[in-house]
Amino acid sequence: MKKSVLLLSLFGFIHFASAQEHQIIQGYCKDENGKAIENVSVYVHDSLLVSVTDEQGRFTYGFAKEGMKLRFAHMVFEPAYYTIKEKDINGKGLTVRMKTKSHELLEVTVTANAPHIAFDNPVMSVIDYTIREDGIYLIVYRRRNSALLHLSFDGDTLNEMPISSRYKRLNKDAFGNIYALNDYQASQIGFIDYGNGKKGMMNFYNSMSRKTFQDKFSTILAAIDSVYITGRYFYYNKEMGYYRHRLGNDEEPEPLHYIVDEEARDDIWLLLHTGGIGANFWVTDPIYNPIYAIGDKFYIFAYTDRETIVLDKEGNELELHPLTFHQYRKWNGKMEPDRRWKQKMMMDAARKEFYTFFVTDGIYTLKRIDLKTGTVTSVMDLSGYPFAQNLRIHDGVLYFIYPTGMNKRKALYQVRVE
């Protein structure tokens, strides 16, 4: 690792000097349901932009002072204000709640393929949803109560079950099981089986504490039949190891693939050896190299190494393709990440296709990934729906949540992908 003595000395001096002046405040912006809000602008003195939240809703400001007033602004949410307290300095527990604006939808040119509401009920607001081969599952809020709905892909309600308003999230694990989550509990959604191929009433089964659920399923990333893959981060989240497991087998998991972000690892090494990691050090985000399972194959999108790796269920490499759409070449020939790409992907398991999206000023542009070339093709943009939430694709249809009407209600929208 080639680091000059001069650079180390300079870095150490700058860090020592700045540590005496900087007082960092770090926190999160969330909506009424506890979901992270991305692209919130954070201002000081009501006009000086000092930070913008990332996809986790996280913001950081390095020159905070007690009594300083922050303003949080977003196109979809009411402005929020917060006065910095002494306990917030160099802390990480601050959460700012923002309320959805009461507003009409932006005027949109109507086309044959324009987004439209997939589920429309004037007294229900969609909190969260997920999709499986047997339909769409939603948590909705209705007046003072909440309900869990199971819809067909035509929008017909197949099942409805009243639930506690504490349930705010739906989670589909790698095996296709769906859970409703609140702050304390995770409950699996199931049906009474009459034995004639028909499903009966929907109900909760296999309830467990949320901690147990996270410990059991959070590391499982993909599954095929009796084989599943777990992932583990190392070295300040800059290294990722994948491991193959077999259901019902007590043997040690077998290493499947290992990915290292060399450049970020060097940066952290520099901080470690110049005293830069301390109370004010914010651990860098995990490297983004997702793995998916379709049919009898695993697909690793190794963005760090700029390649897509296709493996069989035994972990043997079948194909290797370039992966370049997330970067661009600067004038000096150096490859740089495209900041419009938000490190998120979507899989259409029904069609065995992969998608991603770029965001510019809150407008999402959906792009289809070409596995062979590692490039992308734009398929649509949601210009009339800035900051759409929870984008998912199933069988060629894009779904998302967006506010509708004047009563802060949110609806599930859909549009067919061209």
Question: Whole-angstrom Cα distance, residue 284 to residue 373?
Answer: 30
The predicted pLDDT at position 104 comes to 44
Residue 262 has pLDDT above 90, yes or no: no
Burial of 52 (0-12, 13-18, 19+ CB in 10 A): exposed
The predicted pLDDT at position 113 comes to 65
The predicted pLDDT at position 299 comes to 96
- Residue among 353, 373, 377 nearest 365 (CA): 377
pLDDT higher at 413 or 418: 413
- Domains in the chain, CATH or no CATH each: 23-97 (2.60.40.1120)
CB 100 within 8 A of CB 411: no
Work out the average pLDDT over 342-369.
91
Reported confidence tier of residue 230, pLDDT bands at 50, 70, 90? very high
Reported confidence tier of residue 18, pLDDT bands at 50, 70, 90? very low
The predicted pLDDT at position 196 comes to 65
The predicted pLDDT at position 204 comes to 92
The predicted pLDDT at position 151 comes to 93
| Cross-strand partners of 381 | 365
Residues 163-197 pLDDT 10s = 998 999 999 999 999 999 999 999 999 987 766 66
Quote the longest CA-to-CA distance of the chain.
76
The predicted pLDDT at position 6 comes to 42
CB 27 within 8 A of CB 88: yes
The predicted pLDDT at position 8 comes to 43
CB 28 within 8 A of CB 92: no
The single-letter code of the amino acid at 367 is K
Residues 103-149 pLDDT 10s = 444 443 334 467 888 887 788 899 999 999 999 999 999 877 899 99
The predicted pLDDT at position 199 comes to 67
